[in-house]
Amino acid sequence: DQGRLPVVRGLALSRDDLLRRTVIMALMCRGRIEFDAIGEAHAIDFRRYFATEFAALGPLVAQGLVRLSDHDLVVTEQGWFLVRAVAMVFDRYCSANRARFSRVV
């Protein structure tokens, strides 16, 4: 400690962190993920990159919380009440911290 304030403070984010932030923000703010737009912005094949997450979306689609097409994922009117649960599918840190934070419902 040199008695000075730090010049830089924070966390270094990986490319994956930045990508997932974009996806989660799109869901939470607009209720929609456009696969091609995000894929182009981050130089990825969206469906391939998030293959595991797409498999996890099955129950949410079946319950009518989201609509999934070839081009996008849209949170339905009923899904807005649980948009946090939808976003959690794309949060890689969520499963590690699930017990530390509040439940969705």
| Tens-level pLDDT at each residue, the chain (105 residues) | 578 777 777 788 999 999 999 999 999 999 999 999 999 999 999 999 999 999 999 999 999 999 999 999 999 999 999 999 999 999 998 864 454 444 555
| CATH number of the domain located at residue range(s) 15-95 in this protein | 1.10.10.920
- What does the chain come to in residues? 105
> Which H or E element spans position 66?
strand 66-68
Q: In this predicted structure, what is the pLDDT of residue 1? A: 59
Going by the DSSP 8-state scheme, the letter that residue 48 receives in this structure is: H
65 vs 87: CA distance, rounded Å: 12
Tell whether pTM > 0.85.
Answer: no
